[in-house]
Structure 1
Amino acid sequence: MSVTTTAHLNFRGQAREALEHYAAVFGGEPVVVTYADLPQESDADLGVVPEQVKWGQVATPAGFSVMAYDVQPARGYDPGQDRLFMSVRGDDADEITRYFRGLAEGGHVREELAPSGFSPLYGMVTDRFGITWVLDVAAPYGG
């Protein structure tokens, strides 16, 4: 079983620019998946901008890693709140489920752990200390 944790930064229309900047500073190439690349039925309800970042990452051989996305317009966004998530990504659904349940104890489930358009299993929880975690089973993007 393999698990990684990564800071997951949240933006409103600046995720691509931020990822390009971090790649220039730390090295590596940004990987960017737009809302148009992986459309979902709920996108219209959330007012997504197709060219904005649904998921992005910069990872380097030296160990630097950061993820980012553009928060959908229909979701509240305050740069002083939920500016980042902690991402836990693994390859074992049972292990991710155990982590999710543990973090949910005394916390608030924001998105139930379930299959999504980009992962076999994804969920979001704010723990009892106010930290928001996104957990998922890694799936390669073949776009």
Structure 2
Amino acid sequence: MASVLNPYLTFNDNCEEAFNFYKSVFGGEFAVVMRFDSTPDQYTPTEDEKNKIQHISLPIGNGSMLMGSDTPAKYGKVVEGTNFSISVSADDEADADRLYQGLSAGGKATMPMAKMFWGSYFGMLTDKFGIQWMISFDFNRNG
């Protein structure tokens, strides 16, 4: 199994500014830029959030990806120092389930694994040591 680990950063409304800064330092082009106004109806953002970043990714080096998003107000303010997660790209759905179950043991499942509108099988959890994880399998990666 060859899971890929990437840092995922969360921001209080300045994700785009931060990622433009990181891009100026590391170079390259954004692989993905999704704004909250492009989400399905069940994820309707507030008027102030529509142009904020739902997901952004910047390739860095050989195979690494720096990823991030703004945090919608309904989830509260991001606390600096805990505004990151480790994102794991699993090999398939079964691998994603195995990782999710293993890492959530003794911790807190915050979003169960489910197929998402952006083409991934995705879930989030906090492990028993307080580390936040995002587990995903991208359907488009192997197809």
Q: TM-score range by the shorter chain?
A: 0.7 to 0.9
Alignment partners' CA distance in 2, 1:92 and 1:4: 12
Kept in 2: contact 1:118–1:139 (CA 8 A): no
Aligned length, in residue pairs: 139
| TM-score after normalising by structure 1 | 0.86
The structure with more helix, counted as a fraction of residues:
2
Alignment correspondent of 1:92? 92
Alignment partners' CA distance in 2, 1:63 and 1:136: 16
Kept in 2: contact 1:119–1:136 (CA 8 A): no
Give RMSD over aligned pairs: 2.1
Deviation at 1:65, TM superposition (A): 2.4
Q: Which runs of 5+ in 1 are unaligned?
A: none
Kept in 1: contact 2:7–2:86 (CA 8 A): yes
The residue identity in structure 1 corresponding to 2:34 is V
Kept in 2: contact 1:16–1:32 (CA 8 A): no
Deviation at 1:73, TM superposition (A): 1.2
| TM-score after normalising by structure 2 | 0.86
Task: Write the mapping of 1:85-124 to structure 2, written as runs, cut at 5 A.
Answer: 85-124=85-124
Aligned-residue identity in percent:
25
Alignment correspondent of 1:47? 46
Task: Write the mapping of 1:7-18 to structure 2, written as runs, cut at 5 A.
Answer: 7-18=7-18
1:27 to 2:27 alignment:
yes
Kept in 2: contact 1:96–1:135 (CA 8 A): yes
Deviation at 1:104, TM superposition (A): 0.8
